[in-house]
Structure 1
Amino acid sequence: MKRSMGLAAVLLAFGASAVAAQDANISFFITSSNPGDGADLGGLAGADAYCETLADAAGLPDRTWRAYLSTTGGGGMNARDRIGDGPWYNHGGTMIARDVEHLHSNGPNLTKATILTENGDEVNGRGDQPNQHDILTGSLMNGMASGADGDTTCSDWTSSGEGSALVGHHDRVGGGQNPTSWNEAHGSRGCSLEDLRGTGGDGRFYCFATDGPSGGDVLLQFARRGR
């Protein structure tokens, strides 16, 4: 009897360790919701802060979280230059990309099933009700800001009315110029939450950790669970 109880304890500890290690690798998620004002995210600083807030609320590793968003004009930023070097793992512990080049190639593991929220949930795609597959990026397929005329970032993520933003399809299907692209499928109808929803979105965006897991992350996860 004691031997069985000892074995059970070992298996329980092993399972807890596996979960903690899995959590310690999380470095990528899609926001579970919009902050509430459409594409007006408070600029890059506001979007980054929202990634941090969601990650903290979900008990994710204490990392530097950044929004995958580009800006244009003077001092413009490319989304690909904001997210660190990788690799990046989703909430399930699955690697979605090794590095920046892999992320922006034809080979990243980015699908509806792997692009999970900070809570580990899938997001509605085409065929679901409502469709929410349009994801704000303001970026071209190579992860860089667009040099084309016209608004592609909803006034650098400060507009909830006029303008437009480039969006990707997290489920890799749909319409637009690049329907299978996760970061540049087409432009949005407008910048309000109503307009974003009207074209198949919900004002969500991607969050990446710029720093990878450290040796102390597993212990941190145990501490958070009170183990």
Structure 2
Amino acid sequence: MRRSDMRNGLISIAAFAAAIILPTLPAAAQQTDMTFFVTSNGLGKGGDLGGLDGADKHCQSLAQAAGAGGKTWRAYLSTQGAGAVNARDRIGKGPWQNAKGVVIAKDVAELHNNNNINKQTALTEKGEVVNGRGDQPNRHDILTGSEPDGVAFTGSNDRTCGNWTKSGDGSAMVGHHDRMGFDEQPPAKSWNSSHSSRGPGGGCSQADLRSTGGDGLLYCFAAN
């Protein structure tokens, strides 16, 4: 083979490789800048997340795999009882954007009022849409344990599956990431406080969560 032919061949191979690689760079850059996502999968143990620490570790692990592990990630979850924790107080100040670079809220106040969370923006760490109402399977129930304003529930009724340690009897408040429910009432469209989990397994099992349209998924926010 002549040297000129070999050189031209190498140039063609390099150009082909660049054509494949370059289109992926913007997406990778956007995921690095990601500060909000819905987990692509749950931990598989219903409402038992290993407490707040276990939930945070799940967020951090998924973010790391997506190339955004340089941030401190927190699950949007409240706890009840002595030393109650408010979800809104543990996620940083914002702004937050998804894996595609779309801003879902500029700060905590906007997040709990007129935010931009819906089926097309509440993406996973991989930039994928999460199944919602009308899809099979429906996965729109996102665990939060929170009131609409992002604070913990008071009283004795369990709304956090025993502060995220139970997979049997109990209950957890969930929100709808797709803002859709059985009717047009505000709770049905709430992203963070739609209804409590329930089911024959006691309310906190993985099967219970799936029976009402969930899969043990979480909202994750970069706190820094």
What TM-score does the superposition give when structure 1 sets the normalisation length?
Answer: 0.84
Question: What amino acid is aligned across from residue 173 of structure 2 in structure 1?
Answer: L
> What is aligned with 2:117?
110
CA distance in 1, matches of 2:222, 2:122: 14
Gaps of 5+ in 1: 212-227
> What is aligned with 2:85?
77
Whether 2:212 is the aligned partner of 1:203: answer no
Note the alpha carbon deviations across 1:93-127, whole angstroms, 9 max, x for none. 1010000000000x211000000111111111000
Task: Give the % identical residues.
Answer: 57
CA distance in 2, matches of 1:177, 1:198: 22
CA distance in 2, matches of 1:31, 1:19: 18
Equivalent of 1:23 in 31, 45, 48: 31
Counterpart contact for 1:168–1:181, Cα < 8 Å: yes
Q: Which moved more, 1:83-92 or 1:142-151?
A: 142-151
Shift, 1:60, TM fit: 1.9
Trace 1:146-161 onto structure 2 (pairs within 5 A). Answer: 146-161=153-168
Question: What amino acid is aligned across from residue 160 of structure 2 in structure 1?
Answer: T
Trace 1:168-187 onto structure 2 (pairs within 5 A). Answer: 168-175=175-182, 178-187=187-196
CA distance in 2, matches of 1:118, 1:99: 20
Counterpart contact for 1:177–1:186, Cα < 8 Å: no
> What is aligned with 2:8?
none
Note the alpha carbon deviations across 1:16-57, whole angstroms, 9 max, x for none. 764454233200000111111111000000000111111112
> What is aligned with 1:58?
66
SS of equivalent to 1:173: coil
> What is aligned with 2:152?
145
Note the alpha carbon deviations across 1:165-210, whole angstroms, 9 max, x for none. 0000000010387000000001100100000000111110100000
> RMSD of aligned C-alpha atoms?
2.2
Shift, 1:147, TM fit: 1.2
CA distance in 2, matches of 1:113, 1:16: 21
CA distance in 1, matches of 2:206, 2:26: 39
Counterpart contact for 1:23–1:61, Cα < 8 Å: no
Equivalent of 2:95 in 76, 87, 91: 87
* Bigger Rg, which one: 2
Counterpart contact for 2:94–2:107, Cα < 8 Å: yes
Q: How many residues align?
A: 204
Note the alpha carbon deviations across 1:41-89, whole angstroms, 9 max, x for none. 0000000011111111222241100000000001110000000000001
CA distance in 1, matches of 2:165, 2:56: 14
CA distance in 1, matches of 2:211, 2:153: 23
What TM-score does the superposition give when structure 2 sets the normalisation length?
Answer: 0.85
The 4+ residue runs of structure 1 with deviation greater than 3 A are: 11-21
> What is aligned with 2:41?
33
Question: What amino acid is aligned across from residue 47 of structure 2 in structure 1?
Answer: A
